[in-house]
Amino acid sequence: DAMVIQNPRYQVTQFGKPVTLSCSQTLNHNVMYWYQQKSSQAPKLLFHYYDKDFNNEADTPDNFQSRRPNTSFCFLDIRSPGLGDAAMYLCATSTRGAGDNEQFFGPGTRLTVL
Amino acid sequence: GEDVEQSLFLSVREGDSSVINCTYTDSSSTYLYWYKQEPGAGLQLLTYIFSNMDMKQDQRLTVLLNKKDKHLSLRIADTQTGDSAIYFCADYSGNTPLVFGKGTRLSVIA
């Protein structure tokens, strides 16, 4: 089945230790998104790629970076995680231009910062 | 910026209907969505409605849209324990990415 895959599902890192979360998709969608979701809050968009074009949300901290080496993969790098970065990180994909912007979400990676 | 508001909690008895409400501020919304999130999982699209419609029905789900009042609701008929989850309303205008509400936690009592 076509899907959005996130690895790992659970990630534990230490304060200040860089961490990378990964997302892959078999849907061949041209848009990929990274969201941060804290407990009892709405998902917050960090950035998205339209093909190779990177779009950063204005309030995304510089501590967060992203890479998309090809259509299928997208990475979220947190350079120096703080305690406030502990959250669920959701990857999503869509086909922009379809009009309805339906987004397909992965299961998420729960990040714990010690 | 644009805003989407939902009540945070709803509790219903199994077999009853659930109605989850949402209000939004974007007057140029083109699509409105309902997503379901089960514990520890990503978001699953349940249904969506185009802004020129006022109702959409899909099996147990009925979406009502009052564009004048910018009010959206999701009705789940014959609610089951498997419907217990967080339901997110989201708004898309074509100019910005999806704007999500904070989610409504639905608890179904057996």
| pLDDT for the residue numbered A2 | 64
Per-residue model confidence (pLDDT) at position B102: 92
Cβ separation B42–A103 shorter than 8 A? no
Q: Among candidates B100, B108, B73, B19, which has minimal Cα distance to A38?
A: B100
Q: Is the pLDDT of residue A99 over 60?
A: no
Residue B95 has pLDDT above 70, yes or no: no
Segment A48-94, tens digit of pLDDT: 998 888 888 888 999 999 999 999 999 999 999 999 999 999 999 99
HSE (CB half, 13 Å, CA atoms) of A28? Answer: 1
Q: Which chain A residues touch B44 with a CB distance below 8 Å?
A: 105
Q: Which residues of chain A make contact with B45, given a CB cutoff of 8 A? A: 102-104
pLDDT at residue B59, as a whole number: 95
The answer to whether residue B103 scores a pLDDT higher than 60 is yes
In whole angstroms, give the CA distance from residue A111 to residue A101: 27
The three-class DSSP label of residue A75 is: strand
Question: What pLDDT shows up at residue B92?
Answer: 85
Taking CA–CA distances from B41, the nearest residue in chain A reads: A107
| pLDDT classification of A100: cutoffs 50, 70, 90 | low
Cα B77 to Cα A36, B62, B63, B82, B110: the distances in Å are 32, 8, 11, 13, 15
Q: Could A108 and B41 be called an inter-chain contact, meaning their C-beta atoms sit closer than 8 Å?
A: yes
Calpha distance A41→B40 (Å, rounded):
14
pLDDT at site A13: 95
Per DSSP (E only), the strands in chain B are 4-6, 9-13, 18-24, 31-37, 43-50, 55-58, 61-66, 71-76, 85-92, 99-100, 104-109
Q: How many CB atoms lie within 10 A of CB B103?
A: 25
Cβ atoms of B38 and B32 closer than 8 Å = no
For B22-40, the pLDDT digits (tens) are 999 988 888 899 999 998 8
Q: What is the DSSP letter of A51?
A: T
- At B60, give phi and psi (nearest 5°): -80, -5
Cβ of A4 within 8 Å of Cβ of B100? The answer is: no
Q: Which helix (H) or strand (E) holds B108?
A: strand B104-109
What is d(CA B86, CA B36) in angstroms, rounded to the nearest whole number? Answer: 6
B31, B88, B97 ranked by CB distance to A42: nearest: B88
Q: Are A77 and A89 in contact (CB under 8 A)?
A: no
Asked if pLDDT for residue A112 goes beyond 60, the answer is yes
Q: Is residue B56 pLDDT above 90, yes or no? A: yes
Q: If we measure between CA atoms, which residue out of A47, A24, A56, A44 comes closest to residue A84?
A: A44
Q: What is the helix, strand, coil percentage profile of chain A, to 5?
A: 5, 50, 45
Mean pLDDT of B60-80: 96
